[in-house]
Amino acid sequence: MRALLVGVQLQVGNALTSLEAEATYDATETGADALPLIRHGIYDLLLLNLDLLDMDACRLIQRWRIDKLDNPVLAFTQQTHSREKIRALNAGADDVVTWPIDIEELCTRARAIFHRSRPPIRNSIRLGPLLVDTDAKTASVHDRPVRLTTKELEILQFIAERHGKSVTNDAIYSRLYGDSDGSEPKIVDVLVSRIRRKFEAVGAHGLIRTIFGVGYSLYVLAPAISPESARLPQLQSDTA
């Protein structure tokens, strides 16, 4: 879980990482600084102080939602009356707590929001003619196998799970390599280009669209989850 703290004390992030083994966080003091970070699409949870100094935090949440940024939001306020909490919830916050709060309770709430927001685990994804079998590590278009490397398949699965939405290069890179790999960010463009060529080789054109200045989007008409009885090609993927 990767969290962004906006106007929130660093002790909250430190507590979260101590109670959640795989949790990491970044922090910013202002809502203005948070906007470009959130648009990168790499955060699983936003911890937001409703008492921001530079802008109305509830309007900030509304702006995120209008911009189709669906990151779950856990908001904090030092105000004890319910009016501000109701405003935040109506704006799109997932939960609102009064600060100070017991740190363990806070982390439990954060963990619950994170797990509720995660897409359901499924063994395969079918979007029109495209089928991605996440167990067998294979892909096909119109029942024709498409041989992909491990990294290519991971990209395809990542954007297929977000069908119709823009996915940033940074989000894809973070999914593939985290923060510790020495690869260049442009490797994402190289891998997507290879996926496109392999799709075109089986007659599938234009499935992955470039969103200039942002990243990529996978768009297929008539999306649907593949049935359990779908017949899948038995094809081992290449190594990355």
Residue 87 is predicted with a pLDDT of 93
Residue 180 DSSP code = T
**Which residues face 210 on adjacent strands?**
216
What is the pTM (predicted TM-score) of this model?
0.53
Residue 73 is predicted with a pLDDT of 94
Please check whether residue 133 is in contact with residue 232, taking contact to mean a CB–CB distance below 8 angstroms: yes
CATH number assigned to the domain covering 2-117: 3.40.50.2300
The pLDDT averaged over each successive group of 10 residues in the chain (240 residues) is: 87 79 85 84 86 92 86 89 91 91 85 77 80 89 91 94 89 81 77 94 89 88 39 38
Residue 230 is predicted with a pLDDT of 34
Residue 57 DSSP code = H
Residue 225 is predicted with a pLDDT of 35
Residue 121 is predicted with a pLDDT of 58
**Helices 10-19 and 103-117, packing angle to 10 deg:** 70
Residue 49 is predicted with a pLDDT of 93
CA dist 56 and 188 (Å) reads 36
CA dist 238 and 79 (Å) reads 56
The three-class DSSP label of residue 32 is helix
The domain limits of the chain are 2-117, 124-218
Largest CA distance in the chain: 62
Fold of 124-218: Arc Repressor Mutant, subunit A (1.10.10)
Residue 180 is predicted with a pLDDT of 55
Residue 233 is predicted with a pLDDT of 34
